[in-house]
Structure 1
Amino acid sequence: MAKLFSDREIRAIAVFLPLAGLLIIALMLVRPAADPEAARRAEAEMEEALPADSVVMSHFDPNTASLDDLRRLGLTKHEAVSLLKYRAAGKVFRIPEDLTLCYGISDSLYRRLEPWVRIGRKYAIAPEKYRTGRILPEPLAPGPFRIDTVSARYLRAIGALSKRQAEAFIRWRDLSGIYDMEDLRECYVVSDSVAAALKPYVIFPERKARPIEQPVELNTADSATLRSVVGIGPRTVVAIMHYRERLGGFVRAEQLAEVPGVRERNYEKILKQIYCDSCKIRKIDINFASPKVLGKHPYIAPQALRKLLKARQLKGGWSTAGELVEQNILTREEAARLAPYLQFGSDSGPADE
């Protein structure tokens, strides 16, 4: 039977095995024994917070605060080191809320620190990104400026907007006008953080309110006319026209409160500048209108629509809104709201889709 190993290989193995055993024993002797107590002490030291009477709350910039500054604010060593590591990775705190992005800062700690955060001017408004591969100059320190005359170049220079954003902002402003902070935030290229950073420097033009003796008729007004009403911004104009189309027109000016985007603080101001001509509304023949037309109306809920279509298929139609209540298709409140938009004449033919 042939040998598995030659004599030479057997001699080599006989020499190697004792040497390997000696090496393993030496490594075990040199390696220090694990000390669980020392590990617990190190962990406790990292989590140790300063005594309450040693904490001094003061304004600080998370972009420049040192380890000692953070410790004096009551952060543990672990929390302070986490913030410094986050910053060392190239992250910049532009607004106080950016602190929540740091994995070592809990929500409760952020709520305690937030009143004391003061972002330096160098960091408060972000400069343009490094898109071209070259380092861009630091942003110009912003000063008071008129929003109706400011140039795209200036908005870029202070680092508020990129080139494309600044150009889009100027087009938006010239088309819609900007008269207050609400209008400024309406612009889709202006984030909340940028709007907040610009707020101390923006000077808005005056806008004279439309005389009350010349109110706007809500059902026939075009977008430009609606935009002239003080309190109605560009987005609100779109929302009003979309809701007016679904509704078929406004019976009462108070229905404007149903439009998404009409805020309570502007509602009373808007009411003084508008009125409604209820003769301008578009009615639905409930006996002939298609399910698509009925389903678009905001006052007809899906459940009521299903009941209505099923009953119409069996009954054939109605002559009054009261019949819809009697048959439990609509509640009295729903019928009262919907009644101005209904007609029951069979001679009108099917409603257009």
Structure 2
Amino acid sequence: MARLFSEREIRAVAVFLPLAGLLVAALVLVRPKADPEAARRAEAAMEERRDSVELHPFDPNTADFEELLGLGLSKYEAVSLLKFRAAGKVFRIPEDVALCYGIGDSLYRRLAPWIRIGRRYAIAPRTYRPGRILPEPLAPSPFRIDTVSARYLRAIGALSKRQAEAFVRWRDLSGIRDMEELRACYVVSDSVAAALEPYVIFPERQPRPIDRPVELNTADSAALRSVTGIGEKTVMRIIRYRERLGGFRSAEQLAEIPGVTESNYEKILKQISCDSCRIRKIDINFADPKTLGRHPYIAPRTLRKLLKVRQLKGGWSTAEELIEDDILTREEAARLAPYLEFGSPGGTTDE
């Protein structure tokens, strides 16, 4: 049988392997060891801020490294902002600074009053064409969203020609009556919507007659959407919150839902009613943890205490006992009591 390797090849491998082992060992020995203290000093130097900070109006699109340090940014934060710009990002509105990696919320809140976005960068830039000098965008002024032209939206630099034309088609087809519907248009980004919000005038939606209010606990999405002040997203929030609650005991609970702002809250109240007899109650002595934890008025900490005491005590007869057992505060009990029933082991319930 033929041999796979000659004696010469075997001798070469026998010499090579020890040499390779010695080389690897030498590399391991001569490699510099990590210096935790040096790394800590380098990190501290990046986080160090200047002692003298002078806040003044600045444009984050043009501020240089030294100016950023003078505004109170650390070296790390200043470098992060400059890298953000180097990647082709542009700050269109002051809120864009908060999106920059490395700029924390507290720093942004301190800088926000001093941020000034130049006309060249605000809202949306004009497309550059070689050899052509483009006019500066017009300063926006209040306009009606139901009659504004595509030409005007282009003139203030809000949208490109195609975007403005698509926006007008969308508006004429669907109608736009509030900021929620404006943001729903696919050509309007969040930053553009935020920049336009101070100038947009919406048409008044015809309110529902007072004698035919919408009943909160039985209304479907179409009925809720017909209420002036309630947008599509808010409709879904109301329905989801109603399901978690077990129904509304009073119309004022709408104020607990994101999207129902102070500006439209009073309008909504005049167009709705609430039948508290339709709320769904929870038997606190027998309901499973998942059902109890889903209710928005039962916090996780309260749920843990409630389950622990229920296991030892067996249950309660009134909401007052929950206060005495230090499970609910008096305010929490008053808010939650309409949603509770107290079943006894025999199967009867006491309201």
> How would you bin the TM-score normalised by the shorter chain?
0.5 to 0.7
- Structure 2 CA distance, aligned partners of 1:279 and 1:161? 53
Deviation at 1:336, TM superposition (A): 1.5
- Structure 2 CA distance, aligned partners of 1:204 and 1:303? 44
- Give yes or no for contact 2:180–2:232 (8 Å, CA) kept in 1: no
Distance 1:310 1:184, change over 3 A: same
Partner of 2:259: 261
Partner of 1:180: 178
What aligned pairs does 1:153-302 form with structure 2 within 5 A after superposition?
160=159, 177-181=175-179, 183-185=181-183, 190-198=188-196, 204-302=202-300
- Structure 2 CA distance, aligned partners of 1:335 and 1:109? 40
Paired letter, 1:256? L
Distance 1:348 1:188, change over 3 A: farther
Deviation at 1:165, TM superposition (A): 11
Gaps of 5+ in 1: 1-56, 65-85, 131-137
- Give yes or no for contact 2:247–2:280 (8 Å, CA) kept in 1: yes
TM-score of the aligned structures, taking structure 2 as reference length: 0.56
Paired letter, 1:324? L
Q: Over residues 307-344 of structure 1, what are the superposed CA-to-partner deviations in whole Å (9 max), with x where a residue is unaligned?
A: 22122222322222222222222222222111111112
Paired letter, 2:244? R
Deviation at 1:213, TM superposition (A): 2.1
Distance 1:312 1:197, change over 3 A: closer
Paired letter, 1:226? L
TM-score of the aligned structures, taking structure 1 as reference length: 0.56
Q: Over residues 19-74 of structure 1, what are the superposed CA-to-partner deviations in whole Å (9 max), with x where a residue is unaligned?
A: xxxxxxxxxxxxxxxxxxxxxxxxxxxxxxxxxxxxxx9x999999xxxxxxxxxx
- Give yes or no for contact 1:251–1:278 (8 Å, CA) kept in 2: yes
Partner of 1:331: 329
Partner of 2:311: 313
Deviation at 1:119, TM superposition (A): 0.9
Deviation at 1:211, TM superposition (A): 2.1
Distance 1:245 1:174, change over 3 A: farther
- Give yes or no for contact 1:209–1:230 (8 Å, CA) kept in 2: yes
What aligned pairs does 1:126-137 form with structure 2 within 5 A after superposition?
126=124
Aligned-residue CA RMSD in angstroms? 5.2
Distance 1:228 1:310, change over 3 A: same
- Give yes or no for contact 2:246–2:280 (8 Å, CA) kept in 1: yes
Gaps of 5+ in 2: 1-55, 63-83, 101-106, 129-133
- Give yes or no for contact 2:143–2:199 (8 Å, CA) kept in 1: yes
Partner of 1:345: 343
Partner of 1:27: none
Deviation at 1:289, TM superposition (A): 0.8
Paired letter, 2:119? I
SS in 1 for 2:307: helix
Distance 1:89 1:319, change over 3 A: closer
- Give yes or no for contact 1:128–1:159 (8 Å, CA) kept in 2: no
Partner of 1:13: none
1:119 aligns with 2:124: no
Distance 1:88 1:303, change over 3 A: closer
Aligned residues: 267
- Structure 2 CA distance, aligned partners of 1:196 and 1:325? 46
SS in 2 for 1:265: helix
- Give yes or no for contact 1:216–1:226 (8 Å, CA) kept in 2: yes
- Structure 2 CA distance, aligned partners of 1:188 and 1:170? 12
% identical aligned pairs: 68
Deviation at 1:212, TM superposition (A): 2.0
- Structure 1 CA distance, aligned partners of 2:306 and 2:86? 65
- Structure 2 CA distance, aligned partners of 1:333 and 1:172? 46
